[in-house]
Structure 1
Amino acid sequence: MQKANALEFSATNDAVEWLKRNRKEVLVGSIVIIAGAANSEQHEALRNSRIALHFILERNEAGAFEEFFKNFNNKDSFTPVLSFSTKEEADAWLEAHPAPPHGAFVGVGQLRYHVAYARELKHRKLLPLPTQEEWARMEEEPEQEEVEEESNHPPPKLGAEFHLFDLLNVVCFYLYEMEQRMSSPEEIEALKTAKIAFHFVMDTGEEHGFKEYLETLRSSMVSPAALQSFSTREEAESWLARQPEPPPPVVVAIGRDLYSVGYNRRHQMRLLLRIPTPQVLDTRAP
């Protein structure tokens, strides 16, 4: 399993230079910390982005994420399985389907939508994909009038019940604020990587798994005591093999490291996901 290397830079320029030399490594195994957050909400957005990247890397899906990243805005890779004349027709199909094909794409006219379905959470939604023109507009410096208009919009908030879609909206809102203060394509690319990480988790159908990972991470910070402790990973994996399928989301210790017990529903695999330390997740750490 690939390990995530937490790289912290005291200045944005240092991070940019590192990104220029190691762009591929950002996608396949390293988490870059750019000290550019201006408020607590932006710090939290960076922290949640870092958790999403840890979740992907600990599941040994760095290669799949790299491929997903490269094709994320490639319209040729978004071949729709069905096409509809109107969004209303597409929504009606989604609601009537007993088990919508998570990760598939449907077309509505010239637009493309990503089918998101979380069976455990009884949640289904069509997520619009940005067009090439929209990506280009997002990467350009916005007009002053647009900035003033957007500043009047209230920021999105998380609901009482966890939904990865809501978390994505909140994270993107504050990362977009950060983008407005960044000047180089490399910086914007790093934030784009963070956003796409959430899309990747949804595309793999692991909203429920990510929710469990967040819960075990939070419980480990409140009470660091692990359910079970092991000297070696082999001992932990032997214990995990005897657990129900899927195993309960609990925290175990291997040596001095804490791990979240997870489950890859797509491949029906039991997982031990290393929990990052508070120091690694703290975007304000010196």
Structure 2
Amino acid sequence: MKIGELSLESQELLGRLRESAQSTEEKERFLAAMDALKFIAATGQSLDFEDYRNSLDAKAPPLAIEAFKTREEADAWLKGHPRPPHLAYVLIAGEYHVVMHVPELNRRRLISHPVLEFYLADMIRDGIPAPVATFDTREEAGAWLNHQPEPPRQVFIQIAGEPYLVVYHHRINLRAFYPTSMAAMPEHPGETEN
């Protein structure tokens, strides 16, 4: 079903549920969900929303909206952004950070977030698939990843006997690999390749 049709049908269902809701608070929650779907369409984000839903279906890593090599680059971006995307993820040197923005206080922060560590822990719990390639060094793995004409969205490789998740962050055109040991040791940053 196309995202526009699904959105309209979802709004209709939420409207019916809202009519039968018992409390004012419950009615307000249904209205907020309906408004969120209308907002997505009204701001031209329907395809982005569909992309987000597809990434959930594919069990892809959390979406990042930007990537920076250094904290200084990220801080400059945040400082210069006219309307920072509150609660969105960005990558800084391969690590996930969440954007925090409180306009009333004019506060902007990038806070390290273990979302990838949680994601990797879930994947390990579900069982890691066999690696699609094996390498002796990170340099060999990086060369392989950079020479993929169509980067894999997410596959596992092995480097020096350790499993790594290879990810193509397609929305920001970033190829990256992350050691599965990050699930147990969050202080190890992921490596990125461009």
TM-score w.r.t. structure 1 length?
Answer: 0.28
Higher share of residues assigned strand: 2
